[in-house]
Amino acid sequence: MGRKRIFSWGLALAVLAAGALSACGGQESGSGGQTQPGKQDNSSQAQAAVQESGSDAQAQAAVQESGSDAQAQSGEQDNSQLAAAASVVVTMPATSEPAAGFDPVYGWGAGEHMHEPLIQSTLTVTTEDLEIGLDLAKDYQVSQDGLVWTVDIRDDVQFTDGEPLTAEDVAFTYNLCAQNSTVSDFTMLKEAVAVDGDTVEFHMNRPYSIWPYTMAVVGIVPEHAYSEDYGQNPIGSGRYVMKQWDRGQQVIFEANPDYYGEEPQIKGLTVLFMDEDAALAAAMAGQVDVAHTAASYAGQTIAGYHLFQAASVDNRGVNLPAKPATEQDGLIVGNDVTCDAAVRRAINMGIDRQEMIDHVLDGYGTPAYSVCDKMPWYNPASQVEYDPDGAAAILDEAGWKMGSDGIREKDGIRAAFTVLYSPDDSVRQALAEDFANQCRQLGLEVSTEAAGWDVAYDKAQSQPLMWGWGAHTPMELYNIYHTAEGQENARYSPYENTAVDQYMDQALQAADLEESYELWQKAQWDGTTGITQEGDIPWVWLCNVDHLYYVRDGLEIAPQKIHPHGHGWSIVNNVDRWQWTS
């Protein structure tokens, strides 16, 4: 056990303490040198940046080396080169990389993190105010009974391999989705039929008024060129063509020269997958044009970059099990404290959302009152004013008496519960801690506990969990609040209200979207019952997390739709309309 040994331990730990390990971001190194073949026509700075960041262990190293020189240069010199090349380099979290490739059938563009599929075109699109616009579809109608949707499609559209896009391709795509999709619900679709070259009919199992929202996320794949490795070599008719994919590192897109719509202004898009700290380092080194970031990093100022803030419906909230605890098949379902509506109402009213946003999100967020704030189907009655005294009064009235230790009690039940959070998510952990602190002010003893997703769904049946939701479809309301098929309770947290269920069932059977929006709103609050403060309030929504990006000066990001859950692809939904102004 000589001195050498001690010295080596000391050295190893000093290195650890100095943080050299932060270089293990998420990217594999080594194959970066191979990124060039096949890309020589485009020798822009962007490509050079890609190559560098691919072959370096991580951008950190570059930051250390380049120091302030590179930052000063990057502002001016790179800008002009990039503007000439009209291409952008965008970072995204490593989790945004589609595991099954760029195949809409296996989740590309759809599912939990929905976005426009870029490579493929969709029948409809969601507009900036999240109503429905048209893309491949020229027109669509639904039959009186809501069971047949007829969609007229454009006949001037080609896949990038030169073959025309026909109604057969559309029917093929939807039937494939119905058979195989694991991330989206297609149980309402019986069959898609190509009636003629440019008309397709969707035969439904049950009325589904919000079908246009489903049509907005399904990218159309070519029947003649679809095989098992389609996800690796996607062919579509969209604005961009995938040129190259280095798994775990980057994807390179090029504008589709034959695109039927408006010509994309940005000709090249490179997406790099990395963690937030690596993205920040890459921006500091001037290697990327758009770097995703989080509130905890947003205080940094980077020369040549500005902070871009995209509003979102990427909400965080907790479920409050609305039924008393019972054991079902070995699993505890329900919670004896939160089953009291007074407790749920007091929490909803007694949480200072703005304080939470200021403290945890450094102000980069907006208060959330529902799972669908600012969507066309949002009911403004969900909003509630912060009123800690009112909350205390509700608890007093319901018989939750304040104990000597500052924690309330009722009939021998202590007002205590645990809030769970995902262990890898520092924002959710901080929100859970802040939530717990605020609940303590109300006389509720709330502790926090980390729970991985392998156990979180089961545990959430009896304990509140810090969730993140937010999608461009009202189906999310249904998934969260509607009693699950064949069950007594809603899927994610014990709750049922037949009136709420009925409104949502009616909304799905509605004749048109406008009518359905109204019914979705009634499901939230119809004047007597619902899921808002005056109603059952089985979930308390806390905040919508703004999506933050460091954007290189001179790059103008086109106006964004309200981003859904997921800090990834949404930003590039309209990359074709971005502009270099300098």
Partner 1 sequence: MKNNKQRQAAVFFSAALLFLAMVTAAGVLCREAALETDFSRKNLAPCREYWFGTDCMGRDMFARTLAGLSMSIRIGLCTAGVSACLALLLGVAAAVMGKAADRVISFLIDTIMGIPHLLLLILISYALGKGFLGVAAGVALTHWPSLTRVIRGEVLQLKNSEFYQISRKLGWGRGQAAARHMLPHLVPQFTVGLILMFPHAILHESSITFLGFGLSAKQPAIGVILSESMRYLITGQWWLALFPGIMLVITVLLFDRAGNALRGLLEPMENREGVYG
* β-pair type (539-545, 401-402): unpaired
Q: Which of residues 24-43 bind partner 1 (CB under 8 A)?
A: none
Shortest distance (Å) from residue 458 CB to partner 1: 15
Cβ nearer to partner 1, comparing 145 with 405: 405
Shortest distance (Å) from residue 476 CB to partner 1: 28
Total residues binding partner 1 (CB under 8 A)? 37
Phi, psi (degrees; rounded to nearest 5) at 470:
120, 110
Shortest distance (Å) from residue 77 CB to partner 1: 24
Number of Cβ within a 10 Å radius of residue 544: 27
Shortest distance (Å) from residue 249 CB to partner 1: 20
Cβ nearer to partner 1, comparing 9 with 457: 9
Exactly one of 168, 387, 396, 433 binds partner 1 (CB under 8 A); that residue is 433
Cβ nearer to partner 1, comparing 11 with 511: 11
| Runs of H (alpha helix) within 217-360 | 276-284, 341-350, 353-360
Q: In the stretch 353-382, what mask flags binding to partner 1 with x, by CB under 8 A?
A: ------xx----------------------
* β-pair type (445-450, 416-421): parallel
Stretch that binds partner 1, among 80-88, 238-246, 442-450, 527-535 (CB under 8 A): 442-450
Cβ nearer to partner 1, comparing 278 with 519: 278
Stretch that binds partner 1, among 136-144, 446-454, 457-465, 549-557 (CB under 8 A): 446-454
Cβ nearer to partner 1, comparing 64 with 233: 64
Stretch that binds partner 1, among 5-13, 229-237, 374-382, 477-485 (CB under 8 A): 5-13
Shortest distance (Å) from residue 311 CB to partner 1: 23
Cβ nearer to partner 1, comparing 60 with 382: 60
Phi, psi (degrees; rounded to nearest 5) at 196:
-145, -165
- Rounded CA separation 316/370 (Å): 10
Cβ nearer to partner 1, comparing 169 with 434: 434
156 is a contact residue toward partner 1 (CB under 8 A): no
* β-pair type (290-293, 148-153): unpaired
Do 406 and 443 contact (CB within 8 A), yes or no?
yes
450 is a contact residue toward partner 1 (CB under 8 A): yes
Shortest distance (Å) from residue 347 CB to partner 1: 18
342 is a contact residue toward partner 1 (CB under 8 A): no
448 is a contact residue toward partner 1 (CB under 8 A): yes
HEC per residue, 314-352: CEEEEECCCCCCEEECCEEECCCCCCCHHHHHHHHHHCC
Q: In the stretch 8-27, what mask flags binding to partner 1 with x, by CB under 8 A?
A: -xx--xx-xxxx-xx-----
Shortest distance (Å) from residue 421 CB to partner 1: 9
Half-sphere exposure in the Cβ direction for 486 (13 Å, CA): 0
List, as own/partner pairs, every contact residues 254-260 make where C-beta atoms lie below 8 angstroms and the sequence separation is at least 24, other chains included: 254/42, 255/576, 256/160, 258/158, 258/160, 260/154, 260/156, 260/157, 260/158
Q: In the stretch 261-280, what mask flags binding to partner 1 with x, by CB under 8 A?
A: --------------xxx--x
Stretch that binds partner 1, among 70-78, 116-124, 154-162, 444-452 (CB under 8 A): 444-452
- Rounded CA separation 59/191 (Å): 49
228 is a contact residue toward partner 1 (CB under 8 A): no
Classify burial at 283, counting beta carbons within 10 Å of its beta carbon; exposed 0-12, middle 13-18, buried 19 or more.
buried
> Residue 308's beta-bridge partner residues?
549
Classify burial at 317, counting beta carbons within 10 Å of its beta carbon; exposed 0-12, middle 13-18, buried 19 or more.
buried
Provide the token pair at 262.
């408006």
Q: In the stretch 385-424, what mask flags binding to partner 1 with x, by CB under 8 A?
A: --------------------------------------xx
Q: Which of residues 64-123 bind partner 1 (CB under 8 A)?
A: none
List, as own/partner pairs, every contact residues 383-390 make where C-beta atoms lie below 8 angstroms and the sequence separation is at least 24, other chains included: 384/348, 384/349, 384/532, 384/533, 385/349, 386/349, 386/350, 386/351, 386/352, 386/353, 386/354, 387/349, 387/350, 388/349, 388/350, 388/352, 388/441, 388/442, 390/349, 390/350
For tokens 């399904």, the residue is 218
End-to-end CA distance of the chain: 63
* β-pair type (413-414, 408-410): antiparallel
Exactly one of 51, 55, 354, 437 binds partner 1 (CB under 8 A); that residue is 437
Q: In the stretch 282-321, what mask flags binding to partner 1 with x, by CB under 8 A?
A: --------------xx-xx---------------------
Exactly one of 42, 95, 265, 429 binds partner 1 (CB under 8 A); that residue is 429
Do 510 and 209 contact (CB within 8 A), yes or no?
yes
**Residues at the interface with partner 1 (CB under 8 A):** 1, 5-6, 9-10, 13-14, 16-19, 21-22, 60, 275-277, 280-281, 296-297, 299-300, 359-360, 423-424, 426, 429-430, 433-434, 436-437, 448-450
